[in-house]
Amino acid sequence: MSAQALTTWAPDTWLTLFGHFLALSLMSIGGAITLVPDMHRRLVDGGLLSDSDFTGAIALAQAAPGPNVLFVALMGWYGGGLGGAMVSMAGIMIPSTTLALLVSRWVATRKHTRGVQAFQSGMTPVTVGLLLATGWLLAPSVAQPRALALSAVVAVLVWRTRISLIWLVGAGALLGALGWV
Which residues contact residue 81 at a Cβ distance below 8 angstroms, ignoring those fewer than 6 apart?
1, 5, 6, 7, 8, 10
Residue 173 has pLDDT above 90, yes or no: no
Give the pLDDT of residue 4. Answer: 43
Mean pLDDT throughout 94-107?
A: 89
Query: Rounded to whole angstroms, what are the CA distances from 56 to 31, 73, 110, 139, 175?
Result: 19, 12, 42, 13, 20
Give the pLDDT of residue 123. Answer: 83
Task: Report the percent of the chain where pLDDT is more than 90.
Answer: 18
Q: pLDDT per residue over 122-145, tens digit each?
A: 888 888 888 788 777 777 666 677
CA separation for the pair 161, 126 (Å, rounded): 24
DSSP states of the chain:
--HHHHH---HHHHHHHHHHHHHHHTT-TT-GGGGHHHHIIIIITTTSS-HHHHHHHHHHHHHSSS-TTHHHHHHHHHHHHHHHHHHHHHHHHHHHHHHHHHHHHHHHTTTTSHHHHHHHHHHHHHHHHHHHHHHHHHGGGG--HHHHHHHHHHHHHHHHS---HHHHHHHHHHHHHTT--
Residue 1 has pLDDT above 50, yes or no: no
Are 100 and 29 in contact, with CB atoms under 8 Å apart?
no
The mean pLDDT of the chain is: 83
Mean pLDDT throughout 160-178?
A: 85
Give the pLDDT of residue 143. Answer: 61
Residue 9 has pLDDT above 50, yes or no: yes
Give the pLDDT of residue 181. Answer: 66
Are 92 and 24 in contact, with CB atoms under 8 Å apart?
yes
Q: pLDDT per residue over 26-40, tens digit each?
A: 887 767 888 888 899
Give the pLDDT of residue 141. Answer: 63
Q: pLDDT per residue over 10-23, tens digit each?
A: 888 899 999 999 98
Mean pLDDT throughout 53-81?
A: 85
Confidence class for position 85, pLDDT limits 50, 70, 90: very high
Which residues contact residue 134 at a Cβ distance below 8 angstroms, ignoring those fewer than 6 apart?
33, 34, 36, 37
CA separation for the pair 49, 43 (Å, rounded): 6
